[in-house]
Chains A and B, each alone.
Chain A
Amino acid sequence: QQPVQSPQAVILREGEDAVINCSSSKALYSVHWYRQKHGEAPVFLMILLKGGEQKGHEKISASFNEKKQQSSLYLTASQLSYSGTYFCGTAAGNKLTFGGGTRVLVKP
């Protein structure tokens, strides 16, 4: 079952904040976050593990809510370089199942 990401798209002004949610119908044990810029490969941001701490990458952080079966990615004081499509991936077995992505556009 594919995790559901929301919102599907968000437009920000430089310096603004945004939250991207990733919800699963199954129990979560590990959630990956990746960013993909147009025409490029997805780039790893961070992994959140069940029972683990909130992680951070530059001014991007993420949390893991076991009860809600959800992970959230926080873009703080957004920069132009944060533009791209963000994907969460839920780990099970030997594979990642990716959500449909959230398109983020940061404008000057």
Chain B
Amino acid sequence: DAGVTQSPTHLIKTRGQQVTLRCSPKSGHDTVSWYQQALGQGPQFIFQYYEEEERQRGNFPDRFSGHQFPNYSSELNVNALLLGDSALYLCASMLQTGIYNSPLHFGNGTRLTVT
């Protein structure tokens, strides 16, 4: 049973560039969330996708955008990269029954470094 897979594992970009991160959810899951985790901190919610629509968004600027495909996989796009965007980006999937009683299954993340 494949878990959540993310690609790439590491990425180095220059300030001002754009980046796309990819995620395939755990088999059977239809809801994908993205989190940003700075070093030594807890994950911060970016947004959640269900049925190819953004269902909820955290306190992140419009430079952060996403997409969900019919096969439930998802992309996170970040434009005009800033040094402060350097972080571990985690994708998490779950069943759409709701966050109150559904655990999140996390991928191993993409480590983004902006120089």
Output the least CB separation between A90 and chain B (Å).
10
The tally of residues in B whose CB lies under 8 Å from a CB in A reads 26
Output the least CB separation between A44 and chain B (Å).
4
Tell me which residues across on chain B come within 8 A of A96, comparing CB atoms.
Answer: 43, 45, 99, 104
Within 8 A of A (CB), among B18-46: 33, 35, 40-45
The answer to whether residues A32 and B104 also contact, given A94-B99, A95-B99, A96-B45 and a CB cut-off of 8 A, is yes
Q: Determine which of B4, B101, B105, B106 lies in contact with A47 in the assembled complex, contact meaning CB atoms within 8 Å.
A: B101
Q: Determine which of A32, A47, A98 lies in contact with B44 in the assembled complex, contact meaning CB atoms within 8 Å.
A: A98
Of residues B42, B43, B44, which shows the largest number of chain A Cβ atoms within 10 Å of its Cβ? B42
Asked if B99 and A91 make an inter-chain contact with CB atoms under 8 angstroms apart, the answer reads: yes
Output the least CB separation between A41 and chain B (Å).
4
Asked if B43 and A42 make an inter-chain contact with CB atoms under 8 angstroms apart, the answer reads: yes
Asked if A41 and B42 make an inter-chain contact with CB atoms under 8 angstroms apart, the answer reads: no
Task: State which size class the interface on A falls in.
Answer: 20 to 34
The SS class assigned to the B binding surface is loop
Tell me which residues across on chain B come within 8 A of A44, comparing CB atoms.
Answer: 103-105
A-facing mask of B72-106, CB < 8 A → 1, else 0? 00000000000000000010000000111101111
Output the least CB separation between B87 and chain A (Å).
14
Tell me which residues across on chain B come within 8 A of A97, comparing CB atoms.
Answer: 45
Tell me which residues across on chain A come within 8 A of B68, comparing CB atoms.
Answer: none
Asked if A41 and B99 make an inter-chain contact with CB atoms under 8 angstroms apart, the answer reads: no
Kindly state whether residue A84 has any CB partner on chain B within 8 Å. no
Binding site for A on B (CB under 8 A): 4, 33, 35, 40-45, 48, 50, 55-56, 58, 90, 98-101, 103-109
Binding site for B on A (CB under 8 A): 2, 29-30, 32, 34, 40-44, 47, 49, 87, 89, 91, 93-101
